[in-house]
Amino acid sequence: MKFVEVTDLLEWLNKPTHLIRDGEYDDHQQKEKAIFWEWDLENNRLYLSPELRQLFGYGQDKPVPIEGFWHKHIHPEDLNKVINHFLDFINGLLSHYEQIFRVRSINGSYIWVQSAATLKRDDKGEVTWAKSYYTDVTTLKEQKGYTKLGSDKYRNLFQNSMIAMVRNDLATGDILEANDKFWDLFSISLDKRNATKCQDIIGEKHAKLIFDLLKNEGSIDNLELEIKDWGPTSLWISFGAILYEEEGVVDCIIKDITETKSSLIELQKVNFELDSFIYHSSHDLRSPLRSILGLIDVFRLEKDEKIKLECISKIKSSVKRLDSLVIDLLSISRNDRVNDPHVSINFMVEINSSITSYYYTRDNEGLEIITNIHQPVEFFSDLTRIRVILNNLISNAIKYRSRHKEYSYVKVDVTVDEEKAIIEIEDNGEGIEASKMPHIFDMFYRATEKSEGSGLGLYIVKKVADKLNAEIKVRSEELEGTNFKFVIPNTK
């Protein structure tokens, strides 16, 4: 990129410029109602919008003198500052251009304008086109306190602050001035800034709340607001403001607290889950232990060998419940702590292993297991987590089959391609009540009174799926059956 010198810029500013008339200008751009100029530097062609000509005092029919146009109209005291700032912008030393300076109308009076410019560059990085929007801020400059804000010291603090800052008109909500952090926070493009009002950004409801608080109290400190429908998620802001009633303006500072708020919500959720986890796990651990203690006492006092054998059998069942709960608790802990390397997974092998593990442990007469696996490419993922999903869902489908039906089935379909694996596990078992569907992935939630488990199985499945960035869809109808569908990314 060629570095533009002051002499180059002065030559551009002084040499004659062809003025593009409205009839020669692009029809779409010509309809834009704004105070702006566009400068084609390659062909030295300049377009002044009708609104800009009116600001300078030129009517529609009054000719505009071209030669030395900028020197004639920018105040001599501001000219060097404007040229140097624009030069730094052209040379890439500044990421944005925004200046407040005086321009002279043809009747000799000066007007304060706020200028914000954009550039276009060619493949070599040289500037070929420039456009600048002007806003008349003469009235604002005359207001008490505005000159102080406009001074270099406060301008630098205002513009380079890491916090969004904005000044609004109290009566209309119009944005009188804002720093780049504000525009960036709310993703407002340069061409829309002149017509933006406070209520357009934060909503009528929030704007009314803010102005009511200011009128009653004069200031606001750390008011948290949720701006909904702002991009893919809500935007949370912390809002502070001071009302200058005599001047009719409101100075505001705004901090983006979306991440902090999300972390706080997540922390509250984790604390709730932890409390629930401790309560339920301690209850579920004590229940079989108390059962074992009671059975031991019966065993010691009982003389009948048959009853003693029955006690042993029940103690064994309680120990299995304890063991299952401990395994579930370890699965939760491991899922949060450990990330195994992703390996190639053969779904035929893993599904057959899961079916074998659970099919022969129960009375499964009349139950048919149907598998349909289409895996033409390698699939890579976390094998341990995939096994957790398959084992939990297949064991649930087998465990909660409908024993009153003549024909029961569990169907497992897997389709793999380069991007993902789609796993569907369907049964015609007991199904889940519609009212219980929103809670099936909650910790310690049992969807049926017949449940023999800890209520952690589907909770673990959901946590594991989240770690795999998997999508889950569930369809179920009570007494008809359930369908779980997982879409898991292939990390090959």
Residues 113 and 232 in one domain: no
pLDDT tens-digit readout, 417-440: 999 999 999 999 888 888 899 888
Least confident residue range of 271-280, 403-412, 452-461:
271-280
Residues 348 and 488 in one domain: yes
Least confident residue range of 83-92, 198-207, 326-335, 400-409:
326-335
Residues 488 and 357 in one domain: yes
Residues 345 and 475 in one domain: yes
DSSP one-letter string for 197-262: BHHHHH-HHHHHHHHHHHHHHSEEEEEEEEETTSTTS-EEEEEEEEEETTTTEEEEEEEE-HHHHH
Query: Number of structural domains, the chain?
Result: 4
Residues 278 and 245 in one domain: no
Q: What percent of the chain has pLDDT over 90?
A: 14
Q: Is the pLDDT of residue 351 over 60?
A: yes
- Mean pLDDT taken over the chain: 80
Residues 461 and 486 in one domain: yes
State both tokens at 232. 């893919």
Q: Is the pLDDT of residue 379 over 90?
A: yes
Other beta carbons within 10 Å of 396: 23
Q: Is the pLDDT of residue 142 over 50?
A: yes
Q: Is the pLDDT of residue 175 over 70?
A: yes
Q: Is the pLDDT of residue 6 over 50?
A: no
pLDDT: is 149 or 443 the higher one? Answer: 443
In this prediction, residue 48 carries a pLDDT of 81
Q: Which of 142, 177, 211 is the endpoint of a domain? A: 142
Alpha-carbon 427 to chain mean position:
37
Boundaries of domain holding 271: 258-338
Residues 267 and 312 in one domain: yes
In this prediction, residue 39 carries a pLDDT of 83
- Give the number of residues written for the chain: 492
In this prediction, residue 144 carries a pLDDT of 47
Per the DSSP assignment, residues forming a β-bridge with 103 are 74, 111
pLDDT: is 244 or 335 the higher one? Answer: 244
State both tokens at 62. 């009054």
Q: Which of 338, 368, 394 is the endpoint of a domain? A: 338
pLDDT: is 351 or 281 the higher one? Answer: 351
Q: Which of 320, 338, 356 is the endpoint of a domain? A: 338
Confidence of residue 227 (pLDDT cuts 50, 70, 90): confident
Question: Among residues 420, 158, 142, 455, which one has the least CA distance to residue 329?
Answer: 455
The CATH number linked to 187 is 3.30.450.20
Does any domain span residue 1? no
